Amino acid sequence: MAIRKAALACTVCGSRNYTITVKTERTTRLEVNKFCKHCGKYTLHKETR
């Protein structure tokens, strides 16, 4: 089991605001509602690689 870093990108403006550590054996990408400082509101953030 290996661990790697991934970024969370805003789906509205595309900026990468957060970084997370994830296990490599996951097949689905994480989707979380987080605050985007560029949009100024809570938006959906998706995991990028």
Residue 29: DSSP 8-state: P
What backbone phi and psi angles, to 5 degrees, belong to 15?
A: -75, 145
The residue ranges of every structural domain in the chain are 3-48
The fold for domain 3-48 equals Rubrerythrin, domain 2 (2.20.28)
Distance CA 21, CA 28 (A): 14
Q: What is the pLDDT of residues 1-20, one digit of tens each?
A: 788 999 999 999 999 999 99
Total H helices, total E strands in the chain: 0, 4
Confidence of residue 49 (pLDDT cuts 50, 70, 90): confident
Give the torsion sign (CA, 16, 22, 27, 28): negative
Which amino acid appears at position 28 of this protein?
T
pTM of this structure? 0.83
